[in-house]
Structure 1
Amino acid sequence: MTAEVGASEHTVAGYRRDLARYAEHLAALGVTEPAQVTPEHVSAFAAALSAGSPATGEGPGRRPLAASSVARALAAVRSFHAFCARDGETPDNVAARVAPPRQGQRLPKALPLDAVEALLAAPDRTTPIGLRDAALLELLYGTGARVSEVVGLDVDDVTAQLDDPDLGLRLFGKGRKERVVPLGTYARTAVGDWLVRGRPGLIAKATRPGPALLLNTRGDRLSRQSAFAVLRTHAERARLGVEISPHTLRHSFATHLLDGGADVRVVQELLGHASVTTTQIYTLVTAEHLREVFAAAHPRAR
């Protein structure tokens, strides 16, 4: 997956966990070779994940997994058996026809525009850390990027864009798929301020200075986990009253674009979705918003 698919380390780690649990399940059934596996074994694994397991004298048991988690585990299993088939270990992919459990449709959580503005105004831009946080938040909301894409940026990825607004920002998404997104005025200003007045002070603390755009207090590359912590800190400071994540800003980016009249195909390209079907979930969010406004504002809506 790393060499051929270009999957991220987080995706690989997730597949490793799911496949280790799958191998454990099969071993308990006496199945130790890929050629021994049948579709019924795969279906039983999915059922076991959904049901969980009770605590025993040998262990604490496992809680039932949500339908989305079972679907993710089955994706790993299907990929594994597809690999076995391609490599000649088995005649076919025995997991190909095992359907994942049906998932209820969950609408992405998007923040209202005034809440986003309060969040973006929360960092103290008179300090190096505040300048970094402002750059992080402006990039997340201003480009709709995934948090891994933003923390993976290097200084050289943005310097030309600060001088030329017509140049887009190159992002590398899932499977190292490249896309170019516009970099708006607010994001360019925040990044420029960080590079001039914030980053030099932190990079001086690094034992081995690197090219990373966003740094932690030791001068090393900011991690995904630290980015989550930054967002939570400023959400509390802005008194948003809701739990948010970096993906919330990505959802807000897409929803606000559609609310403003953007074409769903354009939003698909900006988000880096392989299929427009994934992007169309946001059209349901805006339709729900319209219904809420109608119900609240029209005298004969009730």
Structure 2
Amino acid sequence: MNRLFEEFLLFKAENDSSSDRTVKAYRDILVRFENWLVSGDPLKQTGDTLLAFTGPYLHKHLQLAPVSRTPYVACVREFYRWASAVRHLIGKDPAQAVPYPRRPGKLPRVLSLDNAERLMWAPDFGSFEGVRDAAMLSLLIGCGLRVGGLVSLNESHLTAQLVDNEPRMAIKPTEKGAKERLIPVPREAELLLRVYLEHPDLQTIERETANSDRVLFVTTRNRRCPPHEYYGEKRRFSPRGVLAMIQRHGKRA
């Protein structure tokens, strides 16, 4: 693998506090990116060439849907941001021209697979709230969670299980009737959830519960709650808030 890619992955692991699974996923993506470049210098790529990789190549040659292409875009954008802002190896960041994939069109009342993907990628990934909303939508759609089960999640409900002898993320939601079940998390949803959990804005939010757990999905504003009381359980999403979020992104998708 290209030495710069190795340095970037080391930075993600040691300085950016990325998990082993995130680093491994990024390594797999960079291997494909390097193979696509053949002998090209990654530092000499333009926005157009990056668009060609994240768009037509992934869609036509690897037949990846938008839900699967988004982690590739995230990896490419982070690599070039690191090369520009951290290592100062290039001037202008060419990956700024690479958008996250979206699909146009209105959502019908019956949600097909394509429309579910459009909804999942409708949030703005440039904001903490957008990353959070995408992670929530990915669990609702990918794991078949009820809204009540989603909002009740704490970090302790995240676990791991072996699938085909590989460790995979799973969740243990408590839903209707206080029933607890173990649900494997799809890879795309797992990547989105890890991006959310590693977001620097989340690290500044006090979300510890009375039993020393931590609320998984937090709100960023609550007009009815005084600032000095806005922590822990007061940060938890309400079912009504989730439904409003879905309607908001449904109009944009």
TM-score category by the smaller chain? Answer: 0.3 to 0.5
Whose radius of gyration is greater, 1 or 2? 1
TM-score of the aligned structures, taking structure 1 as reference length: 0.40
